[in-house]
A and B are shown apart, each in its own frame.
Chain A
Amino acid sequence: MKADQFALRDPLRGQALARALQRLAPERPVRIVHVCGTHEITISEHGLRHVLPEGVSVLEGPGCPVCVTSTVDLDRAVRLAEQGVAVCTFGDMMRVPGSRKTLDEARALGAPVHTVLSAADAVGLARKNPAQDVVFFAVGFETTAPGTAAVLLDDPPGNFSVLCSHKLIPPAVQKLVNMPGTGLDGLLAPGHVSTVIGAGAYAGLAGEHCIPVVVGGFEPLDVLYALLLLLRQVADGRAQVENAYPRAVSWEGNRQAQNLLATAFRVSDAKWRGIGEIPCSGLAVRAELSRFDAALKYDVPAVEGQEVVPGCRCADVLVARAVPSDCPLFGGECTPLTPVGPCMVGAEGACAVWHRHGERPAL
């Protein structure tokens, strides 16, 4: 396995791919959008933008799950913790600014906030402490949501519930297609979201909106290969779904995970930070499981708060209308140590990735 991983970083093949990409220089500017923080890490870490032909830009859209979590949901989690409910969430979420404070700041002031690696860890905490109410603040896309569904359907204890902020990728991409200033000529579709939903989930995007879609993996050659297929589609005037990551993604996806999602959740409208409400883009706990729905169990009103502070361009970065270095705060007032906006937090935020790798390509 390890040898194969290195093979997918083979510099000779990388150079051959780079030459093939150069031969596909477009006649007009081409914007390729990806929606996955891990793709951004591969692209930035390996400097892949430098081998793209002139006129091709690759931009991150709403692909960082903690960045797109609305402050309404985040503020609710902070309030629950301040009321003494043990709030468990993934580490990336801890330092994301809410409209009042971060979960990390609430913890520093004594609120019971715990980082977990899995929804199952939150259930474990609830079982160990039957007198303590435990809420799992569930963020993430289709890759992460099956785990939350699995614990909801696995007879969790009565002191456990879920504050559900899971979101769905295809409706968000659809939204980008229709937004002014965010037009895309191709989608580099996220590898592991697609493991769950299947490459077929993008058929409408290709068929109805004529957007070329290629599902890509996360090694440098995976990404270059996917970009090559995308540029070929653009050059040929085709719009199809192609799968450049067949070792982890099938056309149908993971049926078992899809069944878990359908059994535990219903599709709901959801608010995305910096983007606003997107119809049918979120998951909510089904009525049959409402006793485990923290939004119903606790009286924590959904209060509209400030999503993005003035001057911060996260809202544009999240829809691929700007790159991190376009923001006047980037690298000055806003750094990974002192994040102003959500995109500078965590491993997957576009600004955090650019800051780490010093990437400043021209748009």
Chain B
Amino acid sequence: MKVAAVEGNMATVEAGGVRARARLDALGEPVSLGDYLLVHAGFAIRRLDPGDAQETLRLLDELLAAGDEG
């Protein structure tokens, strides 16, 4: 979910028009507006880099290309 506001150890996050609050205690790294967080049961457990989904696709394409050659 995307960070819309941060106040102490609490962030306001939103996804698909839904707003929620997420505690940041379990994250262990600073959070900025616009960051994406993986939130579970009200607690952020990981900051996500939007570019990383592209990385997954790249790895997958590589694997498939290698498989086609073999």
| Residues of chain A whose beta carbon lies under 8 Å from any beta carbon of chain B | 1, 4-5, 7-8, 10, 13, 16-17, 20, 23, 90, 117-121, 140, 143-144, 146-147, 149-150, 154, 192, 195-196, 217, 221-222, 225, 228-229, 244-248, 254-257, 259-260
Contact = CB atoms under 8 A, between A and B. Distances in A.
Interface SS of B by simple majority: mixed
A148 to B, nearest CB: 9
Interface residues of B, number: 31
Contacts of B54: 4, 7
Contacts of A20: 63-64, 67
B56 A256 contact: no
Contact of B36 (A1, A7, A121): A1
Contacts of A150: 23, 25-26, 43
Interface of B: 2, 20, 23, 25-29, 36, 38, 40-43, 45-46, 48-50, 52-57, 59-61, 63-64, 67
A334 B60 CA distance: 40
Residue of B26, B38, B48, B57 most packed against chain A (CB within 10 A) = B26
17 contacts: A4-B54, A7-B53, A7-B54, A8-B57, A10-B57, A17-B60, A20-B63, A118-B41, A119-B42, A143-B40, A144-B41, A147-B23, A149-B26, A246-B59, A247-B49, A247-B53, A254-B45
B27 A118 contact: no
A247 B51 CA distance: 9
Contacts of B26: 146-147, 149-150, 254, 256-257, 260
A348 B42 CA distance: 18
A17 to B, nearest CB: 7
